[in-house]
């Protein structure tokens, strides 16, 4: 499973125009990054498909990862239904060790791109 370290304020592409079931790129999150945004964009005429933002304590964990639950006053949904030519944002605050954006239901009629951006304040 490929993984890399996230950098503060820099977009990291976790799924790049993908449609098939899969984990995508796993990110290791430095403990100083506590504000997390996941941008989920449907490309083309998507008719169905779902992305689940997940976390684990180790980027090489091979068991079932935990779906991340939004902890904001106005929570954002997870899993995220991918919509044609639409971009949804999943937001989380707190310390994370490893995250991934897993295509949990195949994307039909198009693809999905998922980008991550984290901030310290």
**pLDDT band with cut points at 50, 70 and 90 for residue 65:** very high
Reading phi first (left if > 0) and then psi (alpha if -120 to 50, else beta), residue 69 is in beta
CATH class (in words) of the domain with range 3-119: mainly beta
CA-to-CA distance for 22 and 91, rounded, in angstroms? Answer: 21
Mean per-residue pLDDT, 54-63:
96
20-35 per-position pLDDT tens digit: 999 999 999 999 999 9
Compute the average pLDDT of residues 82-111: 95
Q: Sketch the domain layout of the chain as residue ranges.
A: 3-119
Mean pLDDT of the residues in the chain: 93
pLDDT for 72 equals: 80
Q: Which residues contact 63 (CB under 8 A, 6 or more apart)?
A: 56
Strand partners, 101: 53
Distance CA 65, CA 48 (A): 23
Is 0.85 topped by the overall pTM? yes
Average pLDDT over residues 1-15: 84
């Amino acid at each position: 499973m490929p993984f890399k370290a996230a950098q503060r304020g820099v977009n990291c592409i976790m799924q790049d125009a993908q449609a098939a079931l899969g984990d995508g790129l796993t990110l290791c999150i430095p403990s100083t990054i506590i504000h997390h945004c996941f941008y989920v964009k449907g490309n083309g005429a998507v008719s169905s498909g779902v992305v689940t933002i997940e976390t684990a304590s180790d980027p090489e964990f091979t068991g079932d990862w935990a779906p991340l639950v939004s902890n904001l006053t106005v929570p954002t949904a997870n899993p995220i239904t991918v919509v044609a030519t639409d971009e949804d944002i999943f937001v989380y605050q707190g310390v994370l060790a490893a995250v991934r954006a897993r295509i949990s239901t195949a994307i039909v009629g198009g693809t999905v791109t998922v980008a991550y951006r984290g901030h310290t304040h």
